[in-house]
């Protein structure tokens, strides 16, 4: 079976630590539940991701070299 998370076109997904999450939520003046969602069964998620974790996704970008987005893991 192929591990989708290792594919070259899948951006890096990491579980965000609580301290870093608080900084992000404060910077954008939002709550955790305001973040876009990602399903727990998404094959790109790290194995240690659990429901209510926040995932940091780092993508290549033509305009800014890299784009960082955040997703809340849901059931």
**Contacts of 36 by beta carbon, 8 Å cutoff, 6+ apart:** 69, 70, 71, 72
Q: Which of 12, 18, 19, 27 has the alpha carbon at shortest distance from 68?
A: 12
Q: What is the pLDDT of residues 30-62, one digit of tens each?
A: 999 999 999 999 988 988 999 999 999 999 988
CATH 3.90.940.20 fits 4-73, yes or no: yes
Mean pLDDT, rounded, for 19-35: 95
Check whether 6 has a pLDDT greater than 90: no
Q: Which helix (H) or strand (E) holds 59?
A: strand 54-61
Terminus-to-terminus CA distance in the chain, angstroms?
Answer: 24
What is the torsion angle, in degrees rounded to the nearest 10, for the CA atoms of residue 38, residue 40, residue 43 and residue 49?
Answer: 100
Which of 29 and 7 is assigned the larger pLDDT? 29
Res. 20 pLDDT band, cuts 50 70 90: very high
């Amino acid at each position: 079976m192929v591990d989708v998370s290792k594919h070259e076109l899948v951006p890096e997904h990491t579980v965000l630590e609580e301290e870093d999450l608080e900084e992000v939520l404060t910077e954008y003046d939002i709550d955790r539940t305001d973040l876009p969602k990602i399903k727990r069964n998404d094959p790109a998620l790290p194995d240690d991701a659990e429901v209510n974790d926040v995932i940091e996704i780092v993508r290549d970008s033509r305009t800014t070299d890299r784009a960082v987005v955040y997703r809340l893991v849901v059931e």
